[in-house]
Amino acid sequence: MFKKFLMLIVAVIFCSFTYNTEAIVVDKRPITVGVSYLQDNEITKAMLNGAKKAAKKLNAQLFVRNGRGETDVQMAQIHDLIAQQTNCLVVIIEDPKANSRLAENGEQSNIPVVLVESKITDKQAAFNAAYNAVEEAWNKAKYNKKVQPAFYSGY
């Protein structure tokens, strides 16, 4: 009888050490931010520098896609970023009306989308707009906030 009681105590102690250890694992992967822009120019370069600096500060992984001046290519790249399960998107757009469906696509996929207008004329303002956009997208993804898409403009 004593041996059975002792085995029960040992089993309880052993199970208490091994119970639910998988629930303690924390996901340490960085949040991924997809950045899509339509064409190369000085303003876009300033925006990309701002996005890279924000991503570095936030320890986020940045995926940058160049639409090469083609709206259809940019749309395909954004769909690709969504398919890759990017945590959030920052889209540098030329025409807000033409690309308004980008926010809808991201919202349908439960991916926060932040739009940045590329018609900013000042490089520092462009840098700041992209920096703030990456920060906002990262915060939305990190805290899983279902918020309306943001829009940054230099005007």
pLDDT tens string 10-66? 666 665 555 444 444 444 678 899 999 988 899 999 999 999 999 999 999 999 999
Q: What is the pTM of this model?
A: 0.70
Query: What does the radius of gyration of the chain's CA atoms come to, in whole angstroms?
Result: 23
Q: What is the largest CA-CA distance in the chain?
A: 86
Q: Which two tokens stand for residue 140?
A: 């939305």
pLDDT digits (tens, 9 = 90+) for 67-120: 888 888 888 888 888 888 888 889 888 766 655 666 666 666 778 888 888 888
User: What does the alpha-carbon distance between residue 77 and residue 142 come to, in Å, rounded to a whole number?
Assistant: 23
Given a contact cutoff of 8 angstroms between Cβ atoms, the answer to whether 134 and 34 are in contact is: no
Domains, the chain, with CATH or none:
32-152 (3.40.50.2300)
Nearest to 54 by CA among 35, 68, 37, 39: 35
Pairing of strands 113-117, 61-66: unpaired
123 pLDDT higher than 50: yes
Looking at residue 23, its pLDDT comes to 43
Looking at residue 126, its pLDDT comes to 92
